[in-house]
Amino acid sequence: MKVALFVPCYIDLIYPEVAIATLELLEKYNVEVVVPLNQTCCGQPTANEGDQENSAKMEKIFAENFQDLDVDYIVGPAGSCVKQVKQHFDAIPQTDKVTAMRAKTIELVEFLVDVLKIKDFSSVSFPHTIAIHNSCSSIRGLGIASRSEWMEPRFNKTEQLLESIKDITIKHINRPDECCGFGGTFCVTDEAVSSKMGQDKVADYLHNGIEYVISPDMSCLMHQKGISDKQKTSLKFLHVAQVLNNGPF
């Protein structure tokens, strides 16, 4: 199988270790990975603000990087960015190439669970107590976990991947799928509400004795880590790819 690695701009700039872990993890499972080096932002921030003119500029660059690649999937380690491409990437003409590119874009957890069907990570050891944070985009947009506000059977694809790891303890916090308050530009336009939501999330982790918060979305963890660091807690935050790959940390 051959895939293109979609590295969201904030991961490239702030958390390159997540992109490295994703690449190494995919290659461990004999997936051939190509990385378009000219890729930039997918256009999500401007799209969230209704700025279609500037979204179109970024979408055009994204399409130029990915639409002509001979790959089976385009894999991204960020649910909100993948959701943007799959569901809201409409500021440019929807040519056959663009619609095909959007259709084969997939989030990393989805790819591991639904495409590669990997269930066993018992070769990895992570002797810590963790909580899982799936972003709102991942849960309600991509469906990688059940929604507590819906009467539906419980499932959590991120947990499916982590539960076979040796020595790991997964705890369910009181409100596991509540928004952390990041919300992209929301944390700028509604700073006070965003901060309080993040504080509530951090308090929930501390109440439940969590050591590490693990998520498929570093954007949410960036927000939560900022609040945690300001409060000088002992919480640590990692992308799921870093844990499954046993590094880099």
- Nearest CA among 249, 177, 174 for reference residue 220: 177
Tell me the average pLDDT across 111-120: 96
**pLDDT at 140 (0 to 100):** 93
- Nearest CA among 3, 18, 69 for reference residue 222: 18
What are 129's strand-pairing partners?
Answer: 169
Tell me the average pLDDT across 151-180: 95
pLDDT above 70: percentage of residues in the chain: 100
d(CA 233, CA 225) in angstroms, rounded, equals 9
**pLDDT at 248 (0 to 100):** 87
Is the pLDDT confidence value at 80 over 90?
yes
**pLDDT at 183 (0 to 100):** 80
Q: Report the predicted TM-score, pTM, of the whole model to 2 decimal places.
A: 0.94
Instruction: Summarize pLDDT for 171-181 with one digit per residue, the tens.
Output: 999 999 899 88
d(CA 222, CA 216) in angstroms, rounded, equals 12
Question: Using CA atoms in the order 41, 10, 20, 135, what is the torsion angle rounded to 10 degrees?
Answer: -100
Residue 112: CB atoms within 10 A of its CB come to: 25
Tell me the average pLDDT across 56-71: 98
pLDDT above 90: percentage of residues in the chain: 88
Tell me the average pLDDT across 28-43: 96
Q: How would residue 48 be classed by pLDDT, with cut points 50, 70 and 90?
A: confident
